[in-house]
């Protein structure tokens, strides 16, 4: 059977070049002469955004109805890759019905700062969570014969100057934090496409960075698919092609195609790159053609039910203190309820910009709670979204009077589209002043107050110690209103956990002072200390830690065991977990690991494995988790590769980064690392070198005895050892200490020579 790639040799240079850019905003160019059709790609990642008429990239044009699932900020809080895979399957089904070849997502960029305007579209501040959840989505989407587009590759962590800013980040954090999640998805799920980001990385545009797109992505990780640009991300089309960018989107006036064809005619490197890229585009077309025909229509009800289930699993119960002897949540069956806040009536269920979905329906909390509780519920908007709207005082007074007349007040607060969206970053993490004033007044009128938050990224919670119950409801997709009521009434036992830390102040956050940069550069000065790594390393108070989330039941952890699998080298962690309450529930069991001692700077603990485990009331489940050996490694800048340190590792298991219920220690075999010697190598490095050390042992033992031995030595032996250890090898000849310049050169050559 003939495939599109079989026609590659029949194509002219101009035809090959035409394949490497879009036909228009969402489709690829056909080549009718040889029967290569056009295929369509569309936005995602939490729902299909197939525009029905005029096309654009920022969600301005209308799109066909599709299920709006919880954005990544919610889905990541479920800590469940199997749930993510089910969402991916649904996205794939809807894309296939609409004859879409590739849906653009998931987005797994790290939440470096809570100010990033697009954080609602990203999974976590932690690369393991981002990678595992991202892989689940990709597997689900592609199981339906539809491609995914993993984005935005890479170090794209802000909206300010997003098309030009340079993310200036050192090798260790780049590899350990910002690339690790991408590596996991590529190696575990092989997305059909990877989308390069707008920004520059250490001065080089991602779209034309051969190190990023070829050396790392293809040569190191084994990526087999196509690299597509973010829409409008290409700065130099020919340089991008040679670097490894296969497809420029969207379509344009044809000038980039002509530039590529002209360059390929006179430059063999460009011609070779063009053949490779055109072949990958043809492969993508072939994959799309191989999908069996899918008959509609969409089962709208089934997908809405899945969206409701996922939303319920995404909600994080932050606080649930006892009032009059019992927690406020779930709501008592006979309680009269003051439902307050415009978000309850007019839900904000998704973020603004290119991921804006036209939902098949939208549930509001007001409708859902009224249906469930009837006349026990009364509603007051409490505020208008427009802070300048006349009548805010009157709305507040109405809400306070209602709160005072009811058993409990449920107040919906949050962020509007004007406060967070693709295209701009937030200036602060505070809720609007008029919303906070409303809450203060309601709490004064009725201390039995519950806050429900609607936000895509974390907000400051200055009321955290004054309000008995707080529900982080994120942006939950089209069924979020019903799902929130499911949790409030206890039909769903909350099991979400924070995939990002909630700080007390923006000034406490790791990137503060370095975000969003200036003059086209943003310095990633916090290094590897992103998110909880930063707060834990500094023992800094936070409002709620990474991994935190409460339940309507309780869980007890038994003794932790950790062993190394002899075959894989992975660490297998086991712990019995008992549901000690009266309700069935889910516990997100989290494994944090750190070496007991390290030669490099490390966080006190790093999440390396997790599992969302359903446990019946009174039952015990033996939870077994695997920490991959590769995930224990740090990036060794001396040899430019990941290295696992040998020695003892502390394995901590618990319910958050600061709620650790048990621990164990396990010995891990290290990787062999031989660092090439240079004139800048210190004597400590020379002594530790397997070849160089023995060669100089006698010389420097005599020198140390002369300079720092007993008696009249100028230093004690210990002090001399410390001083000598930091001395550069190449500077020894100037002091006449045992080696002349020829001897240094001979030592370096002998130490670095290939060993038999």
Q: Which residues are catalytic?
A: 230
Is the preceding omega at residue 626 within 30 degrees of 0, hence cis?
no
Closest by CA to 726, choosing from 681, 672, 662, is: 681
3-state secondary structure of 651: strand
Distance CA 680, CA 730 (A): 6
Question: Which residue bears the tokens 């494995």?
Answer: 609
Distance CA 699, CA 637 (A): 29
Distance CA 612, CA 606 (A): 18
Asked if 751 and 701 touch (Cβ cutoff 8 Å), the reply is no
Beta strands in 125-191 (DSSP E): 147-153, 166-168
Kindly state the tokens that stand for 537: 């390393």
Distance CA 231, CA 565 (A): 45
Kindly state the tokens that stand for 33: 């002469």
Backbone angles phi, psi at 280, to 5 degrees: -70, -35
Distance CA 214, CA 221 (A): 10
Distance CA 225, CA 640 (A): 25
Question: Which residue bears the tokens 């056909």?
Answer: 30
> Euclidean distance between the first and final Cα of the chain, in Å?
51
Distance CA 678, CA 690 (A): 15
Residue 713 CB neighbour total at 10 angstroms: 15
Helix axes 741-752 and 692-708, enclosed angle (nearest 10): 140
Give CA angle at 80 (79, 84), nearest 5°. Answer: 115
Distance CA 31, CA 275 (A): 15
Helices (H) and strands (E) in the chain, counts: 21, 27
Distance CA 329, CA 323 (A): 10
């Amino acid at each position: 059977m003939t495939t599109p790639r079989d026609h590659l040799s029949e194509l002219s240079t101009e035809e090959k070049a035409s394949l490497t850019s879009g036909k228009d905003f969402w489709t690829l160019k056909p080549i009718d002469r040889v029967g290569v059709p056009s295929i369509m790609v569309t936005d995602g990642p939490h729902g299909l955004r197939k525009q029905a008429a005029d096309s654009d990239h920022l969600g301005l044009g209308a799109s066909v109805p599709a299920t709006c699932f919880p954005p990544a900020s919610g889905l990541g809080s479920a800590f469940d890759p199997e749930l993510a895979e089910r969402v991916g399957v649904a996205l794939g089904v809807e894309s296939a019905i609409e004859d879409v070849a590739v849906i653009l997502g998931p987005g797994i960029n790290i939440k470096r700062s809570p100010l990033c305007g697009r954080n609602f579209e990203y999974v976590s501040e932690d690369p393991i969570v981002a990678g595992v959840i991202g892989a689940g989505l990709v597997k689900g989407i592609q199981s339906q014969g539809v491609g995914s587009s993993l984005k935005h590759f890479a170090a794209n962590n802000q909206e300010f100057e997003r098309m030009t800013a340079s993310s200036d980040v050192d090798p260790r954090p780049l590899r350990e934090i910002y690339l690790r999640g991408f590596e996991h998805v590529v190696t575990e799920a092989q997305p059909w496409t990877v989308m390069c980001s707008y920004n520059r990385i250490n001065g080089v545009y991602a779209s034309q960075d051969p190190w990023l797109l070829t050396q790392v992505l293809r040569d190191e990780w084994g990526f087999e698919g196509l690299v597509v640009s973010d829409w409008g991300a290409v700065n130099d089309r020919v340089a991008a092609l040679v670097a490894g960018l296969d497809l420029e989107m969207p379509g344009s006036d044809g000038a980039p195609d002509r530039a590529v064809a002209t360059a390929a005619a006179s430059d063999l490197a460009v011609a070779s790159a063009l053949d490779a890229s055109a072949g990958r585009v043809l492969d993508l077309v072939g994959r799309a053609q191989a999908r069996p025909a899918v008959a509609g229509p969409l089962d709208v009800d089934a997908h809405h039910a899945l969206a409701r289930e996922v939303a319920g699993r995404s909600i994080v119960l932050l606080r649930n203190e006892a009032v009059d002897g019992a927690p406020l949540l779930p709501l008592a069956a006979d309680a009269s309820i003051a439902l307050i806040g415009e978000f309850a009536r007019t839900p904000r269920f998704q973020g603004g910009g290119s991921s804006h979905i036209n939902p098949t329906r939208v549930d509001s909390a007001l409708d859902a709670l009224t249906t469930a509780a009837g006349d026990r519920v009364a509603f007051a908007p409490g505020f208008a979204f427009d802070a300048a709207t006349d009548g805010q005082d009157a709305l507040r007074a109405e809400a306070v009077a209602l709160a005072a007349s009811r058993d409990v007040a449920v107040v919906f607060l949050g962020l509007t589209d004007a406060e967070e969206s693709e295209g701009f970053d937030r200036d602060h993490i505070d809720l609007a002043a008029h919303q906070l004033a409303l809450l203060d007044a309601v709490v004064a009128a009725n201390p039995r107050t519950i806050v429900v938050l609607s936000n895509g990224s974390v907000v400051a919670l200055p009321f955290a110690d004054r309000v008995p119950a707080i529900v982080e409801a994120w942006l939950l997709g089209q069924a979020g209103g019903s799902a929130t009521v499911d949790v409030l009434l206890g039909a769903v036992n909350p099991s979400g956990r924070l995939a990002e830390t909630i700080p007390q102040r923006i000034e406490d956050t790791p990137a503060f002072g370095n975000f969003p940069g200036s003059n086209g550069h943003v310095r990633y000065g916090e290094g590897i200390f992103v998110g909880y790594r930063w707060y834990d390393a500094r023992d800094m108070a936070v409002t709620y830690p990474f991994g935190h989330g409460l339940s309507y039941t309780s869980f007890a952890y038994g003794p932790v065991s950790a062993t190394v699998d002899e075959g894989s080298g992975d660490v297998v962690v086991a712990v019995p977990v008992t549901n000690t309450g009266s309700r069935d529930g889910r516990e997100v069991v989290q494994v944090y690991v750190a070496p007991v001692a390290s030669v490099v700077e490390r966080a006190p603990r790093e999440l390396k494995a997790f599992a969302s485990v359903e446990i019946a009331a009174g039952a015990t489940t033996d939870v077994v988790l695997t920490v991959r050996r590769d995930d224990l490694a740090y990036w060794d800048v001396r040899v430019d590769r990941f290295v696992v340190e040998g020695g003892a590792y502390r394995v901590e298991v618990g319910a958050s980064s600061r709620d650790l219920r048990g621990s164990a220690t396990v010995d891990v075999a290290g990787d062999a690392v031989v660092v090439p010697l240079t004139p800048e190598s210190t004597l400590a490095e020379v002594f530790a070198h397997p070849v160089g050390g023995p060669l100089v042992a006698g010389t420097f033992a005599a020198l140390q005895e002369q300079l720092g031995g007993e008696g009249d030595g100028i230093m004690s032996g210990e002090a001399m050892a410390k001083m000598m250890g930091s001395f550069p090898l190449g500077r020894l000849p100037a002091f006449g200490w045992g080696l002349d310049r020829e001897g240094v050169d001979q030592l370096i050559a002998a130490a670095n020579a290939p060993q038999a």
